[in-house]
Structure 1
């Protein structure tokens, strides 16, 4: 049985803003990690090094893992789930092989076997071996660090990422303006890649793809690819939205002008007279017994006639056309003597 006694530390709940998600200077140091660490599965997201992630952990197994980690050294291995199993226990194939060593910096106990924690990502690791699965997963890991290099290619990729990210921030409703400010203040290319990938609207596979790229140039190129794709999607969405707004504005303007025209006609006493005239014409058309396709065309012209002013050059043309239709002997016939 595990102890129900909870540590008194980290009990104050505080909101975490975007800028606070970057690892503070007090946390940035050369950590020494144990070879074996408990593994905490993360669903629908990926943790990156030097990023803070607020997280509600649920379930007796995972709450126990957090409790024991806090009592020990506050270190956990955060690994993204490929897909959550519905009808069976969690297995190694359900988790990605690459994860992030995290340090629990804040914790708040919640009702119904749940805790809210704030985890700081410290370093990327690869699972070398699963040690055990009971009472929770423990793995033997190998920490992997991306070498920081300074080349013209890296600098060009970094500048391109900042330029693309600025455009994405301007269009994306899910990103605050301060996101680009935070990105501008990041000097290390690896940290920039992780920050952008974490905040971008990517699925788990996309974020994991960036995390598992250990070569700096390859990592930056992948972030550039995902940024470019996201920007294209946002630009298409923005274009569609602009078209819809333009069409709505046009419809509203036409409705407003029609109502204005009706009001003017009503003031001039023309509306009732024209309405009666259109009604009489429509009754005459119905009485002719026209073929359906002919009647449909005449009704269209009659609708046009009812919406245009009498001073319009089109008005006498349409009226003469309708009068001509009414004068034709559609349902009348005579006997011919040959």
Structure 2
């Protein structure tokens, strides 16, 4: 399905969205391109992916470029999307080879060091994690057959949320709303205090350094992994041995799977086949969880990403990145060089600071 948007707000540049069916959004490609003229796209030419990549200066996506798309990327073309390169060696190598300019939503910062382009999708994924976990606990999903909030005279499920960031906070919103017994584990005392002020006694804030993680994991019915190291691979906090000691039919929802996952037994799954079993523990590890609710996700993401896109289109990437250090933090690959340290460290590749790369 193709949609054309008159782009008056982008100084009459053309926006073209090539969007596959939202029924398969977990694997769909969503591309917005910016080019000089509408004529190229309304002159009768087929709107194939190849034609779009060939003619556009900026490619905007909602997910990492697919393998076939990487081969279409041209030198000096701007790629503006989620990349999660620290968990994707082949994609990283392909983008290096393309000599394109790759800006990752997930590493753009704000003045407070937060991740404003990652936050909307983290919020969606956090809320979905409890929804998915509750469904996976049902008996016909090979779960324990538990209702998350219990019932009169029946205890609610134990929910352990690893990480008190945006994912963790939003998971707690839904988990407490469903009346589960909720533990939020984080290393930051200050953040746990914030969450306790927000939720009161509805959550049990737990410092990671003081917690017996093995016991928390073995006792829980639903484990949500929401740990993030910006731009780097997620730490494996839950070992295979811990999973082996979990209750039969308990559930792991690893939201960190886009960054490699924080549970050792996690591997990426799709919306079509979201779960698998390891030691009789249900694992829900869908990459791009927000793709399951594309309308909500699109509206949330557009509000966050459009301001930078307008600047890229209006004044070019160099001026946009050089005048704003927060935008500059999004530059991961620049004309064959890795410009984000977390990605370089993940694969032991040479690192060039972004500000230096732009001067070369």
Give the number of the structure with larger relative contact order, counting CA–CA contacts within 8 Å between residues 6 or more apart: 2
- Bucket of the pairwise TM-score, normalised by the shorter protein: under 0.3
TM-score (norm. length: structure 1): 0.21
TM-score (norm. length: structure 2): 0.20
Between Structure 1 and Structure 2, the one with more helix by share is 1
